[in-house]
A and B are shown apart, each in its own frame.
Chain A
């Protein structure tokens, strides 16, 4: 991987992400792919803190931290200003967590991509409000414990399928990516960068703290999510053309769930239900991609 072997780094060490932070890895990959001509909008999320307290910043690119629900809107404004200044080289990127994307920021995101604003929206998904201490979001998967879905009240609803929601806006480019597949991730960032209009990347970024896994498993667990089809890697062009990037061996979901503290309460019967959901989603995806199981 030529890019990753290069020493292009757009982060300083010394950030305050938890040990094994998937979101920190995702940011590193993203910036390596985008390069220095990038401006970033960070609505409230773990990265609001990770980036470092005043007067420090761990990012070597210009950044504007913004209110929780404003990822799509602030980017629209930055892009408009750059356009007015004649700057067409700089890539404008919003970097938001799942809460800021699936929930509170969904309106601004939907508005921005409906207008086909020329920017990349990246959601790094750690499947709950981690920065505030692991509360449920609409990205939290079925079956998960969080501090607001404790005990028997573990989450009984499916995770919102955000990429499908974005594809429904018929945006030029939407894709999933995972920190466990850096080459695929970097390729998609590059592709997004080369595409005009609204682009959306959904990056699976594990959270050892919130998922209750050992920090050293952060990448492994992300890879397992891909291998089990819990998080398939695919791209959608213009909301119509689906490409599935990896065809995993469809490992059973059981192993993925068994090693995470947040799923410890699930019974075998629960896992069977989840397996059915995952299979169903995969079949649906295959159909959209014009393929058959």
Chain B
């Protein structure tokens, strides 16, 4: 008994309290220390701000790098119905503004876009896009070029019934008739147009825009969008340009696109420095002729894409710089062009300012001459009236609001300083947002609405923002290179676009730029900094010393637990992409 009592006494724990911790520190809310507050705030990538169509390029690249090709393609479609076209012919100002350019080389954004369009075409993908409920208003679009079709696409997304009227027998405008097949194959364009039609857009061909037709439209539609382009080549304003053998570059390209094989034997001279001039020259080479481009400035001043000029020269096109035609004359069955030599007298607007180089002249004799110095509206009245008196000149379109009559918007080449497909699309988008705002909220809201839809500092607009998508939450701040944490990126060469070799190119109108594989596209997209966007890299969560960054379901999405966040700011600095912001705590 005594022993048992002893044993019991001994088994009693003699320790009532000792230095031993068993409870979590969770009760200690260290968030009270904080005087700086991090938060997730996506910002604007410079590429997306530079894209006239306002494409969400950073996100497109991110989705592509993750192999989410359909989602990437749909992300383009929200802002641009022509990924297959722009992936081929866009002048890609996005690449020029790419922050990666300061690191090694810009992302091949256009090539990735083309890859996505090819992939969608190959697998016959159907986009699943947000669409607003149907509206009572019907809208007419005159001109089925890139601007008109883009406007119709966006208006359809916004709930409007749209009819597009086109003078030609087929839709596409400059895309159908002005760009050679080796740059834009017919199937690629047709695929895009078919998708636009599938969206509910009705296209009526063989319906040229006349004053009477326009009046008819006004009786049955709530608004009209006039986007019939610049179809007529600008005059050279030199003696002899009306002579036989002097042709119109655009018309020449259109003949080829209609299926004709014009006789181009011998030497053809092309006047101009834009893409049309280069397209004409390269088409001539492909048809067996010789081509000489005469340009009054230097090669580097040419508005044509540098790559195109380079390839043209490789294919045998000749280029003479700093010459301007002064006089065109007959020389037997041929034509003789007298050239005034020019010289550079300084720089203006990023290119050389020219003046005559004394009295120097020379002559060129050729079988024929093509004018390709620019184009203008087919009819003077297509052009917008001067601003004021009911017409507002917006960045990419002109909007005329007339008492008792339907609104009339003009866009595309009719209003744009830079005549590009991307700008044409920008016009269509701006007109669509403006008209939608007019119908929903009234004319007074249009400017503020456009401002709200601006990507970065503008003038690019986002339809996703207008439709209330997540993109509206982004800060307008355009991320600069210094804000990227380049420690997280490795040097990697830009992809090389595979192309037909020169000999193959010169023989046919087959597309020059070849398809790229998913691997190459993904690797290229992986190079993207995704400026200002969260790609779930997890650095914020990983480096948080205070376990105050929480992850959402399946590891996606992040949030900050302000109960514990001490505001050290590590997450913001270690964010490779500037998708976070550190602010003073408001307390």
Contacts and interface: CB of A to CB of B under 8 A. Distances in A.
Given A219-B570, A219-B573, A220-B573, A182 B23 contact: no
Interface string B536-570: 00100011011110010001000001011011111
A219 B29 contact: no
B548 A56 contact: no
Interface in A186-219: 208, 214-219
Contact of A12 (B25, B542, B545, B574): B25
Most B C-beta atoms less than 10 A away, residue of A13, A14, A51, A223: A13
Nearest to B30: A14
A113 interface: no
A25 B33 CA distance: 18
Contacts of B551: 7
A151 interface: no
Contacts of A65: 19
Contacts of B19: 54, 65
Nearest to B22: A55
A28 B547 contact: yes
A186 to B, nearest CB: 10
B393 interface: no
Contact of B582 (A9, A216, A218): A216
A19 B568 CA distance: 5
A292 interface: no
B568 A20 contact: yes
B487 interface: yes
B542 A215 contact: no
B538 A5 contact: yes
A208 to B, nearest CB: 8
Contacts of B23: 55-57
B567 A19 contact: yes
A14 B28 contact: yes
B260 interface: no
B568 A218 contact: yes
A225 to B, nearest CB: 13
Interface string A51-70: 11011111000000100000
Nearest to A12: B24
B30 A15 contact: yes
B543 A52 contact: no
A20 B543 CA distance: 9
A32 B25 CA distance: 18
Contacts of B26: 12-14
A16 interface: yes
Contacts of B564: 13-14
Nearest to A24: B545
B133 interface: no
B546 A13 contact: yes
B545 A17 contact: yes
A58 B573 contact: no
B547 A11 contact: yes
B253 interface: no
Contact of A15 (B542, B546, B572): B546
A272 interface: no
B489 to A, nearest CB: 13
Nearest to B543: A219
Interface string B210-235: 00000000000000000000000000
B583 to A, nearest CB: 13
Interface in B78-114: none
B538 A4 contact: yes
B519 interface: no
A149 to B, nearest CB: 26
B13 interface: no
A20 B569 contact: yes
Interface string A37-79: 0000000000000011011111000000100000000000000
A65 B18 CA distance: 13
Most A C-beta atoms less than 10 A away, residue of B543, B574, B582: B543
Contacts of A21: 545, 568
Contacts of B561: 13
Most A C-beta atoms less than 10 A away, residue of B27, B538, B570: B570
Interface string B508-545: 00000000000000000000000000000010001101
Contacts of A179: 543
B6 interface: no
B413 to A, nearest CB: 50
A57 B567 CA distance: 22
Most A C-beta atoms less than 10 A away, residue of B33, B487, B572: B487
Given A20-B570, A216-B570, A219-B574, A14 B24 contact: yes
A145 B431 CA distance: 65
Given A55-B21, A55-B23, A217-B573, A24 B28 contact: no
Contacts of B567: 19
Contacts of B570: 20, 215-216, 218-219
Contacts of A24: 545-546
A151 B323 CA distance: 72
A197 B116 CA distance: 55
Contacts of A1: 538, 542
Interface string A227-247: 000000000000000000000
Most B C-beta atoms less than 10 A away, residue of A25, A182, A219: A219
A5 B551 CA distance: 10
Nearest to B34: A19
Contact of B21 (A25, A54, A208, A216): A54
B573 A13 contact: no
Given A13-B561, A57-B23, A223 B487 contact: yes
21 contacts: A5-B555, A7-B551, A13-B547, A13-B564, A16-B25, A20-B566, A24-B546, A52-B25, A52-B28, A54-B21, A55-B20, A55-B22, A55-B23, A56-B21, A56-B24, A56-B25, A56-B28, A57-B21, A215-B568, A216-B569, A220-B487
Interface of A: 1, 4-5, 7, 9, 11-17, 19-22, 24-25, 28, 51-52, 54-58, 65, 179, 182, 208, 214-220, 223
Q: Which 3 A-B pairs have the closest CB atoms?
A: A216-B569, A14-B25, A20-B568
Given A14-B26, A51-B21, 8 more contacts: A12-B26, A15-B28, A15-B546, A52-B21, A57-B23, A179-B543, A219-B574, A223-B487
Interface of B: 19-30, 33-34, 487, 538, 542-543, 545-548, 551, 555, 561, 563-564, 566-570, 572-574, 582
